[in-house]
Structure 1
Amino acid sequence: MTNSPAAGPVPPPGCPAHAAPAEAGGATGSRAAVPMYGSEFADDPHGAYARMRATFGPIAPVELSPGVYASLVTSYQLGLEILRDTERFAKDPRGWRAMQDGTVGLDNPVAPMMMYRPNALFSDGEAHARLRGAITDSLDRVDPHALSEYVERSAETLIDAFASRGRAELITEYASVLPLLVFNQLFGARPADGPKLVETMMKLFDSGEDAAAANDELLQWISGLVAEKREHLAADVTSWLIAHPSQLADEELMQQIILLMAAGTDPQQNLIANALRLLLSDDRFAGELSGGSMPVQDALDEVLWNDPPMANYGTRFPRYDCEVAGVRLRKGDPVLISYAAANHEAALASDRRSGNRAHLAWSAGAHRCPAERPARVIASVAIERLLDRLPDMELAVPAEQLTWRTGPFHRALAALPVRFPAQAAAQVEPFAASVSNSAPFDASPGGSQWKPAPSSSTPPAATSSEKQPESQQAARRRLLSFLTAWWRGQ
């Protein structure tokens, strides 16, 4: 049940909720807004959601970054309704009022996560159907067994690099690198490009003096990949996008690839890391691990309910002024769905959610994530291989001392240090050679490792062109939110 403002508990002194509620804040911030950009929110988001719901009801006024206001939906049913309501709510952010009038500039830290890009995520109607059709048709051709093999072999290579040390920092040494290697393979880049792509992405994420150059390298890399694949089609997602009946122009191809690779890296990293944290710290899972069972799927379900990688997103913009759940929403003011808060509602809560996948972690409606299946394969295989190789692994610090990256959209650990009995050093061949030799995919467009091309796409359309000590790498990752958001473009 959702408490009304009158019935809810009194917020603590200094909380913005002390101010009297009015209409949703929008660019003016007229309704008292709860900040979502600091460490206080990152340290206890579920506590913040509970206070929002108790004080404001199912829609709370929030501040995503200083001066950027939105409404946050914390109700499962209302969130589902808005995600499915294409008549009242648009996904295309070009009507964002605060950006139109200059209140929010392109240099604002959250603008890259919310501004328009010509990809499936930020499109509506026929444009969305056309771009999404190209994505889903191409992803549907990926054989999950071939994908699983590649993830497993890549995971083994990464584990070999630290197994003899008896310790590791799993964010920078495993969870952030593995998705990049996998997507490098899925999109048909040369195997030797894998290490370079990882290096480029880490420079971009590190937000240092090399970030701008790394961004240029990334765009050049994707442009080169598209040009190369146009000349030599193969059995990979890039080639399938090129050959798709929607006839994507080069710019459209680049935007869809950036969207897919970005959505499959940082969120995938968070899914892997959050599930590992749960498996290594929660007594329900730790007991099963010690008994020889690895309930990885249960852990993934639990994370997708409680700590989804993208905790607050599903951004929508009212097409006209409307009243929702007693709150006046103004045309063009952003409305975000809190997947984490919605999933946590009392009506859906249970002690164990094994097998229950009615959560909103993948969103819902027309913009439900099209990569759910490969994302789950990558995460589950990555976790299973790590726990199989290092069954006595444990957290190097108490779970409550783990820190979280700040930011309103994601649920992301800053570091995940672990220790384990050291293993004898393996004879590891050079990284690029290992990846090249292990690639399980048939090189031909119609190779037997891949499913036949589906024909469900839309017709062709016209296109236009006290915290624990951290390593230096882990500490830098606390500064990644802005560049991660820019690159992901969600």
Structure 2
Amino acid sequence: MESQHATPVPGAPARCPMHGHDFAADPGRIYDQLRDFGPAAPVELSPGVDATLVTEHDTARRVLQNPTLFARDSRRWAALNEGRIALDNPVLPMMAYRPNCLFTDGTVHLRLRKAVTESLDKLNVSRLARDVEQIADYLISQFSERGRADLLNDYAKLLPLLLFNKLFGCPADIGDRLTTSMAAIFDGEDALRANEELTACLMELIALKRRTAGEDITSWLIAHPAGLNDEELKDQLVMLMGAGVEPERNLIGNTLLLLLSEDSSGRRSGMLIEEAMDDVLWNNPPIANYATHYPLQDVDLDGVEVAAGTPLVISFAAANSDPALTAERETLSKGAHLAWGAGPHACPAKSPAQLIALTAVEKILNTLHDLTLAEDPEKLQWRPGPFHRALVALPVSFSPIPATRFAEPLPQAQEPAATGPVTAEGEPSSPARPQAKKGFWSTFLDLFRV
């Protein structure tokens, strides 16, 4: 049957690119164009990587909630298996298979997800909020005397990175390298080398926690009855950090942007923080397009043909703004959006993620009472990329406050001699690692008891 939808937009390319500045500047306009194709449309995630983007809310739910027809295991990706995707393609780190909750199905997924969710359930909510506040204090103290800051790169970007070091139980050296390598991966800076360093850091951390367990996610995953091996442990930690850090910084940044923006009369929205965060999750979700599925057979999505083994990407942003949903928005619960996903792969960390963002936003607004955007919101730039909705920077100004307003530094602990790792028999197992310049995590550990 001939499709009534799949007629290209006049003058538009056969596949709409989602990797340039045009898409980043105004994705809503692109989603509106793509709707002319039907509930899903042909897109290009990066040069040479074709996909189908689901833009309709009901169709998105249909895909997300039907694992028997739509798999998450990217080893089914036909173009990659046939060598048609370059191994250095920038979207590959976000799409290539890893044995973790994101890319597995069936009983394997259930086993891994159970280990992750039951480890996350051990988090103490009050302690988590205190950790966020302490890290926030530290970060704010780094720029409080200047009277100006970039709330994205000085605050929203660093807070989740430091927090995950704490949640994973990282010692100073591993934490510094983990923070640097994860930031480089997100920023696209020598991703191959950064991924190798990230892997090395996490394997060191796992070995350390197997010897000496602590009250942290790494230790809880190791002790879980699922009996994860080192490779599985590493990939669950990569998944947790990747799925936690990038969305978290964007949720914090996008919420602050909304709260600090003024209308044409110079008035701010007056929203409560929870209301602003819910508005962001509906209208500007931190991860706009992801949850890639691979049809197990050729499927027809209401007139849009999708071949087996081809990437089918869910647009949370487009689904949330689906015109068919507009009339119902007033009657829907505030959590009816798809920003957290749906179905068996829905985000397992929704509650702690919301608590982290809420605490971080609340803390900086309560500390710097006269925060003002230093640039017209319309002129702020958004990072190119098919998956996220992320600001490049969020410049603000405020009345300076002294750094001594924050926690007093503690005496620095003397650094142990750099003897390098040791074997079970106490013998050095490798040459000592040269002492590097202290990073954010080791400096934080020097200043605060965590």
**TM-score between both structures, scaled by the size of structure 1:** 0.79
Deviation of the 1:163 alpha carbon: 0.9
Native 8 Å contact 2:4 2:303 kept in 1: no
- Structure 2 spans left out of the alignment, 5+ residues: 411-439
Deviations 1:426-455 (A, max 9, x none): 265277465467556xxxxxxxxxxxxxxx
Deviation of the 1:373 alpha carbon: 1.2
Name the residue aligned to 2:233.
253
Native 8 Å contact 1:92 1:122 kept in 2: yes
Cα 1:216–1:91 change in 2 (3 A) is: closer
Return the alpha-carbon distance in structure 1 between the equivalents of residues 100 and 250 of structure 2: 23
Name the residue aligned to 2:92.
111
Cα 1:84–1:436 change in 2 (3 A) is: farther
Native 8 Å contact 2:41 2:304 kept in 1: no
Native 8 Å contact 2:259 2:268 kept in 1: no
User: Residue type of the partner of 2:363?
Assistant: R
Name the residue aligned to 1:228.
208
Name the residue aligned to 2:220.
240
- Residue identity over aligned pairs, in percent, reads 48
Cα 1:141–1:283 change in 2 (3 A) is: farther
1:15 aligns with 2:35: no
Native 8 Å contact 2:132 2:359 kept in 1: yes
Native 8 Å contact 1:313 1:409 kept in 2: yes
1:43 aligns with 2:40: no
Name the residue aligned to 2:434.
none
Deviation of the 1:277 alpha carbon: 0.8
SS at match of 1:71: strand
User: Residue type of the partner of 2:364?
Assistant: L
User: Residue type of the partner of 1:108?
Assistant: N
User: Residue type of the partner of 1:384?
Assistant: E
Name the residue aligned to 2:199.
219
Alignment of 1:263-302 (within 5 A): 263-283=243-263, 295-302=272-279
User: Residue type of the partner of 2:233?
Assistant: L
Cα 1:305–1:294 change in 2 (3 A) is: closer
Alignment of 1:13-412 (within 5 A): 14-16=11-13, 32-53=14-35, 55-190=36-171, 194-205=175-186, 207-208=188-189, 213-283=193-263, 295-349=272-326, 356-412=334-390
Return the alpha-carbon distance in structure 1 between the equivalents of residues 363 and 237 of structure 2: 28
Native 8 Å contact 2:298 2:305 kept in 1: yes
Deviations 1:329-379 (A, max 9, x none): 211111111100000012433788996011101111000011111111111
User: Residue type of the partner of 1:315?
Assistant: T
Deviation of the 1:140 alpha carbon: 0.6
SS at match of 1:426: helix
Native 8 Å contact 1:307 1:411 kept in 2: yes
User: Residue type of the partner of 1:377?
Assistant: L
Native 8 Å contact 2:38 2:304 kept in 1: no
User: Residue type of the partner of 1:125?
Assistant: G
Return the alpha-carbon distance in structure 1 between the equivalents of residues 210 and 445 of structure 2: 24
Deviations 1:387-427 (A, max 9, x none): 00112111111000100111111111111111111113326
Deviation of the 1:314 alpha carbon: 1.4
User: Residue type of the partner of 1:385?
Assistant: K
User: Residue type of the partner of 1:36?
Assistant: M
Return the alpha-carbon distance in structure 2 between the equivalents of residues 80 and 418 of structure 1: 38
Question: Alpha carbon RMSD of aligned pairs, Å?
Answer: 2.7
Return the alpha-carbon distance in structure 2 between the equivalents of residues 214 and 73 of structure 1: 31
Native 8 Å contact 2:374 2:396 kept in 1: yes
Cα 1:202–1:281 change in 2 (3 A) is: same
Deviation of the 1:193 alpha carbon: 5.1
Cα 1:287–1:153 change in 2 (3 A) is: farther
User: Residue type of the partner of 2:75?
Assistant: R
Deviations 1:316-338 (A, max 9, x none): 11101121211222111111111
Number of aligned residue pairs: 415
Native 8 Å contact 1:64 1:70 kept in 2: yes
Native 8 Å contact 1:150 1:438 kept in 2: no
Name the residue aligned to 2:404.
426
Return the alpha-carbon distance in structure 1 between the equivalents of residues 330 and 357 of structure 2: 20
- Structure 1 spans left out of the alignment, 5+ residues: 17-31, 441-490
**TM-score between both structures, scaled by the size of structure 2:** 0.86
Deviations 1:137-181 (A, max 9, x none): 000110111100100111011101111101001122111110011
Native 8 Å contact 1:151 1:178 kept in 2: yes
